[in-house]
Amino acid sequence: MSNAICEALDIRYPIILGGLSRIGRAPLVAAVSNAGGLGLLGAGSWTAEEFREQIRETRNLTDRVFGANIPGHAEAADELVETAIAERLRVMSTSAGSPRRFTARLKEAGVYVIHVVSTVAHAMTAEKAGVDAIVAEGSESGGMTSMEQVSTLVLVPQVAEAVGCPVIAAGGIADARGLAASFALGAVGVQLGTVLMATKECEVSPAFKEMMVRARETDTYLDPRGRAASRIFKEDFTKTALQDLKETSSPTVPDLDLVQTGVGQATGMIREVRTVAEVIGSMVSQAREILPGLIMNLPLGDAE
């Protein structure tokens, strides 16, 4: 499996760990890059110093390419961008704000820039701003998203039609079927969040991972926060799950912070906590099996 994104970024598979503020730290990022994907550090809530430490720690854990995401609303956004350049990160993702703010500076420093959008109009603005690739993120996704609520199935083909640069699909992708579907929609790769949080290498608490395994596709909602919204677990689900976890032999007592941690609808597809290599490996190998078979679902008829 190789394509425009793999060649440009020197990665084996077109599978990206999206920026996960507070969660996308060195062990998870390195595990994704070591498994052949592209890990992005979730730099949103860090100071420049914390970011530098995480970059160095990631370099101790992998010699593969990795990058970072800086959302426009990050308090230290400007400093974080300068840190990424000083530390010679080759690829950066920007989100939640105008792509014009950082693209020229990053490109001038030779960085490959990926920008995350949730509407076709924003994709067109990002392309004009000169980004190298666009992540089209549907409203199924975990974490902060647009209140417009356009689903991945509707957003990705329209973004792919509207722009000339490579498009990466995000939101609700958790297995080989999602990867295969993304190619059919016109994407050259996928960005994952939720499914990679339910892995052994992710540092969210075991209780949160257990909640992800238990949750159904209907157990999240979009919590509005001004012009943006954040997809998190519903209160009812959280209460019941926490009660159950307290009564069973949960390895850690869940803390209230869990309630506010972003999680996508794809949580309904998670059956167990696996390693990052298992998630990415099965995604790639099963996609290779199912893609050639899909044509069988289209009977030949009069249209021939």
Ligand X SMILES: Cc1cc2nc3c(=O)[nH]c(=O)nc-3n(C[C@H](O)[C@H](O)[C@H](O)COP(=O)(O)O)c2cc1C
Closest CA to 52 of 34, 75, 26, 14: 26
* Binding-site string for ligand X from residue 6 to residue 25, where x marks contact by CB under 6 A and - marks none: ------------xxxx-x--
Strand, helix or coil at 235? helix
- Within 54-83, the residues that bind ligand X by CB under 6 A are 69, 71
Instruction: Identify which of residues 216 and 246 has a Cβ nearer to ligand X in the complex.
Output: 216
Segments in 218-259 forming alpha helices (H): 235-247
Instruction: Kindly state whether residue 142 participates in binding ligand X, applying the rule CB under 6 A.
Output: yes
Under the binding rule (CB under 6 A), the answer on residue 262 touching ligand X is yes
Type of residue numbered 296 = M
Kindly indicate which of the ranges 30-38, 46-54, 103-111, 139-147 contains the residues binding ligand X, using the contact rule CB under 6 A: 139-147
Residue 93 sits at φ, ψ, to 5 deg, of -115, 135
Task: Kindly give, in sequence order, each residue whose CB lies less than 8 Å from that of residue 5, ignoring residues fewer than 6 positions away.
Answer: 11, 14, 133, 166, 168, 188, 189
Helix (H) and strand (E) counts in the chain: 12, 11
Give min distance, CB of 40 to ligand X, in A. 7
Alpha-carbon distance 60 to 174, whole Å?
28
Distance CA 77, CA 226 (A): 20
Q: Is 103 in the site for ligand X (CB under 6 A)?
A: no
Of the pair 9, 23, the CB lying nearest ligand X is at 23
99 binds ligand X (CB under 6 A): no
Residue with smaller CB distance to ligand X, 37 or 143: 143
What does the per-residue mask of binding to ligand X show for 208-247, with x meaning CB under 6 A? ----------------------------------------
Interface residues toward ligand X, by CB under 6 A: 18-21, 23, 42, 44, 69, 71, 95, 116, 137, 140-143, 170-173, 191-195, 261-264, 266
